[in-house]
């Protein structure tokens, strides 16, 4: 039984392929289109998934998409009658919903086949049910409390329930127009970060401020009984005027969602190019604190109702790694699972597994314990690409060596990391989700206090307040962090032990925390061996890990990695068994 799962016509468009309950491939469209958060129909992601599985579209039995235009129709109708949103807003929503109903036609045009030859049955899975499934049905837990929090999907912003075996029972939801995701978006826009997905920048800015603006910020959201919350709607326009959104084959955009009332409350919004003041930093800290108040208000009620020590989180707000790192301190939950693509991209696997496990009643047989589900390349393919770029490599005075012994490759790479060099590390299959987790990473020495500035100067060219992450051997987590817990997908932030902070300044955030990735040999043998080789040289079982890109989506293909290496001042590129190093001119 082959299921193609899709997140289409939305930000982070993606596709996955599930064969008899096993996840064979999963990838976001942005990696092929080279446009961040690409929104539209994930045609290239679909092609990859079919190729990786060695099948054609006529062999797919079912197609599951994480949207259901018929969900919550009564609530939508009642809202339309009571609030009378603008005609333009209604037209945008209807147009977007209509595209979901034309999947076979678009799929046929994309793959150059007749739509009638596509025998797969289409299944529309409600957005937040797909989110819940994307975490629980691939988790290691037989039972768990399940919570999804994001902006909006199918007229819902938050959903929670209980997962047991191959069934998820939904207990409650928060409907449009109230949303913690929209709250975070509004203040992110107010702070001068207008692009889709910029919320993580505000999360990174928050530790530079203090939550001094809580009295005003609490006027934006009210905590209600039973874990619920309500926005102060006068401060937002999404429910009245509607919001301009573009999801059509390119970078997704969302127009301003805050009103003049919010400006009256907080003051003039930060303009493009305006410096970040202490007030802006304090607002970021206050927003994060406000979000956490509402988030844990919800989680504690969910625990009270389920009495389940296991928690599965999903939705775009599950990317808030700072809040995730406080789950054990601020709620009674004892175990936590968040899969690597917790946001809308992950809805593709959620739709597929909801269909397989819940609607078809199939037993669970898959656990996502790693995220390496994208394209991979052989040494021969990489070698051919290097040959085609030989003149440019020679101009850059590059030395090229093929090292087929893995231990020696890791040792030599670790030596260069320890020497302060910036390493592009391109290995195996690409990661699923927004984080580079050791297969499409830039790796550096975490001991160097100046490494953050070096990286921003040579490659990243990003805001100075944004932190870099530590990848750490799993067995060393408790020695270096105040929590001893596996974090394979870099989605929890924990305090670094006070005595260890001076040893790894490049990955220690201003408040003493780190967004760690724990690595085991079983999950990623080569990356683990690189970390252990670095430990043998330095005594530190940690490397700095940041995504292999330069203001673009993470590199997918060898030629993209090579191009990034050539146009930046990266010192070394390790692709497969090939080591390419710039020599002193």
Average pLDDT of the chain to the nearest whole number:
95
Q: What pLDDT shows up at residue 96?
A: 54
Does 47 lie in the same domain as 97?
yes
Does 207 lie in the same domain as 120?
no
Residue 133 lies in a domain: yes
Q: For the chain, how many structural domains are there in total?
A: 3
Does 433 lie in the same domain as 564?
yes
**HSE-CB for 214 with a 13 A CA cutoff:** 12
* Share of the chain residues as helix, strand and coil, in percent rounded to the nearest 5: 40, 20, 40
Instruction: Write down which residue in 307, 337, 367 finishes a domain.
Output: 337
Q: What pLDDT shows up at residue 243?
A: 87
Count other Cβ atoms within 10 Å, centred on residue 97. 15
**Chain centroid to CA 358: how far?**
25
pLDDT band at 458 (very low <50, low <70, confident <90, very high): confident
Does 172 lie in the same domain as 109?
no
* Whether residue 219 has pLDDT greater than 70: yes
Report the pLDDT averaged over residues 7-33.
97
Does 284 lie in the same domain as 330?
yes
**What CATH number did the domain enclosing 409 receive?**
3.90.870.20
Phi-psi region of 512 (alpha: psi -120 to 50; beta: other; left: phi over 0): left
Nearest to 19 by CA among 4, 9, 31: 4
Residue 368 lies in a domain: no
pLDDT band at 80 (very low <50, low <70, confident <90, very high): low
Does 573 lie in the same domain as 436?
yes
b/e string for 429-441 if b means 16 or more Cβ within 10 A? bbbbbbbbbbbbb
Residue 404 lies in a domain: yes
Nearest to 344 by CA among 518, 122, 181, 138: 181
Instruction: Write down which residue in 307, 324, 359 finishes a domain.
Output: 359
For 133-186, what is each residue's pLDDT tens digit? Answer: 999 999 999 999 999 999 999 999 999 999 999 999 999 999 999 999 999 999
Does 188 lie in the same domain as 73?
no
123 Cβ contact list (under 8 Å, min separation 6): 62, 63, 64, 65, 351, 355, 359
**What CATH number did the domain enclosing 279 receive?**
3.30.420.40
Instruction: Write down which residue in 302, 328, 359 finishes a domain.
Output: 359
* Domain range for 185: 149-337
Residue 371 lies in a domain: no
**Chain centroid to CA 547: how far?**
12
Query: In whole angstroms, what is the distance from residue 119 CA to residue 127 CA?
Result: 24
Does 105 lie in the same domain as 9?
yes
b/e string for 135-169 if b means 16 or more Cβ within 10 A? bbbbbebeebbbbbbbbbbbbbbbbbbbbeebebe
Report the pLDDT averaged over residues 287-296.
98
For 31-73, what is each residue's pLDDT tens digit? Answer: 999 999 999 999 999 999 999 999 999 999 999 999 999 887 6
329 Cβ contact list (under 8 Å, min separation 6): none
* Whether residue 338 has pLDDT greater than 80: yes
The pTM is what?
Answer: 0.95
For 348-386, what is each residue's pLDDT tens digit? Answer: 999 999 999 999 999 999 999 999 999 999 999 999 999
pLDDT band at 259 (very low <50, low <70, confident <90, very high): very high
**Chain centroid to CA 7: how far?**
14
Burial class of residue 457 (count of CB atoms within 10 Å of its CB; 0-12, 13-18, 19+)? exposed
Is 386:159 a contact under the CB 8 Å cutoff? no
* Whether residue 77 has pLDDT greater than 70: no
């Amino acid at each position: 039984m082959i299921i193609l799962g899709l997140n289409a016509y939305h930000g982070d468009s993606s596709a996955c392929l599930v064969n008899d309950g096993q996840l064979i491939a999963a990838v976001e469209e942005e990696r092929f289109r080279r446009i961040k958060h690409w929104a539209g129909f994930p045609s290239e992601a679909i092609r990859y998934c079919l190729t990786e599985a060695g099948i054609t579209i006529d062999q797919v039995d079912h197609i599951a998409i994480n949207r259901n235009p018929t969900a919550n129709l009564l609530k939508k109708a009642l809202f339309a009658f009571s609030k009378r949103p603008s005609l333009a807003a209604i037209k945008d929503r209807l147009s977007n919903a209509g595209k979901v109903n034309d999947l076979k036609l678009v799929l046929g045009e994309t793959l150059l086949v007749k739509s009638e030859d596509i025998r797969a049955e289409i299944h529309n899975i409600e957005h937040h049910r797909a989110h819940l499934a994307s975490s629980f049905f691939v988790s290691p837990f037989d039972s768990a409390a399940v919570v999804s929090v994001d902006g909006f999907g199918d007229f819902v912003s938050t959903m929670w329930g209980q997962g047991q075996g191959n069934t998820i029972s939904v207990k409650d939801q928060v409907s449009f127009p109230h949303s913690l995701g929209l709250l975070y978006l509004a203040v992110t826009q107010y702070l001068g970060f207008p692009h889709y997905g910029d919320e993580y920048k505000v999360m990174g800015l928050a530790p530079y401020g203090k939550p001094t603006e809580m009295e005003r910020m609490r006027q934006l959201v009210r905590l209600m009984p039973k874990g619920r919350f309500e926005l102060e709607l006068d401060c937002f326009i999404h429910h009245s005027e509607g919001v301009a959104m573009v999801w059509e084959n390119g970078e997704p955009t969302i127009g301003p969602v805050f009103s003049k009332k919010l400006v009256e409350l907080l003051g003039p919004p930060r303009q493009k190019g305006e410096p970040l003041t202490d007030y802006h930093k304090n607002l970021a800290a206050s927003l994060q604190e406000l979000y956490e108040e509402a988030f844990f208000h919800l989680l504690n009620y969910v625990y009270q109702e389920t009495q389940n020590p296991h928690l599965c989180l999903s939705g775009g707000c599950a990317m808030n790694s700072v809040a995730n790192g406080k789950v054990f301190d601020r709620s009674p939950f004892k175990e936590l699972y968040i899969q690597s693509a917790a946001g809308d991209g992950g809805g593709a696997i959620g739709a597929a597994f909801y269909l397989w496990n819940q609607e078809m009643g199939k037993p669970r047989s898959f656990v996502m314990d790693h995220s390496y589900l994208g394209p991979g390349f052989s040494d021969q393919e990489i070698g051919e690409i290097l040959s085609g770029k030989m003149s440019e490599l020679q101009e850059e005075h590059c030395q090229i060596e093929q090292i087929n012994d893995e231990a020696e490759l890791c040792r030599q790479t670790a030596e260069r990391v320890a020497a302060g060099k910036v390493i592009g590390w391109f290995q195996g299959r690409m990661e699923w989700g927004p984080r580079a987790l050791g297969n499409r990473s830039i790796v550096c020495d975490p001991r160097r206090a100046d490494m953050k500035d070096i990286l921003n100067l040579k490659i990243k060219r990003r805001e100075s307040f944004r932190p870099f992450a530590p990848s750490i051997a799993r067995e060393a987590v408790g020695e270096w962090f105040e929590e001893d817990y596996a974090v394979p997908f870099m989605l929890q932030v924990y305090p670094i032990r006070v005595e260890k902070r001076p040893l790894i300044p490049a990955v220690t955030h201003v408040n003493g925390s780190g967004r760690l990735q724990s690595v085991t040999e079983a999950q990623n043998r080569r990356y683990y061996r690189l970390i252990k080789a670095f430990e043998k040289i330095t005594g530190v079982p940690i490397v700095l890990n940041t995504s292999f890109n330069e203001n673009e989506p993470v590199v997918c293909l060898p030629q993209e990695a090579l191009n990034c290496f050539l146009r930046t001042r990266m010192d070394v590129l390790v692709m497969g068994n090939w080591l390419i190093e710039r020599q002193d001119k």
